[in-house]
Amino acid sequence: MTRIDRIYSVRWFGPFETPEDVKRFEYKHKSMSFQLYILNGYKPYAKLYDSYYCGQTKRSVYQRLTDPNHHINEFRDISAIWIGSISNVEPKAEDINVAEKILTAQLRATFGERQMLNRTNKSFPKYNAYVVNIWHNPKENRLQRYQRGTIPADLPDVIGHEYEKLIDAHLLFSASKIKWVNVE
């Protein structure tokens, strides 16, 4: 039987079109902290495919996105910005690193190395961890359906990472969509 060491429930909000939209949302939701974000858009001269970047921050997402050396500056056109809050635990730096690594690995597996701008955070933890993605629009309504070709449609709702100690191997698996059932 597989042991579950860590589970991270990430509440995602978006899509936002600009960092200024993110700033307004964060200001309106001061009681929440957002540790993760995903960008997708077109790099200069790209015509056939989007590029993706998954990042983390200790500051506001807006402050991170407006850093002069941030990857957002590598995009010619931003298709979407999603910001995420780990909502089931008070995340420590290691928790944020692990959640970002699992998300980045899944994006890389889905879209390929060429479409990813991430170049760091390449080591997996030596324990089992799972990320559960729950998607909301900017009005805070949970998304029931995902539009094809969007980050919520392309990134599975459940992503698992298992570490096989005996063979020192890391396994990544996913379930594409959570089915919400009303139990009233």
Whether the per-residue pLDDT at 34 is higher than 70: the answer is: yes
Give 22's pLDDT tier (boundaries 50, 70, 90): very high
- Full domain range(s) for residue 117: 6-175
Average pLDDT estimate for 73-97: 93
41: phi then psi, degrees, rounded to nearest 5: 175, -170
CA-CA-CA-CA torsion sign (175, 134, 85, 156) = positive
pTM of the predicted model as reported, rounded to 2 decimal places: 0.91
36 in a structural domain = yes
Q: What is the pLDDT of residues 121-145, one digit of tens each?
A: 667 888 899 999 999 999 988 887 7
Whether the per-residue pLDDT at 1 is higher than 60: the answer is: no
Number of structural domains found in the chain: 1
181 in a structural domain = no
* Position with higher pLDDT, 158 vs 169: 158
Q: Are strands 6-16 and 129-136 parallel, antiparallel or unpaired?
A: parallel
pLDDT of residue 50: 86
CA-CA-CA-CA torsion sign (164, 168, 38, 115) = negative
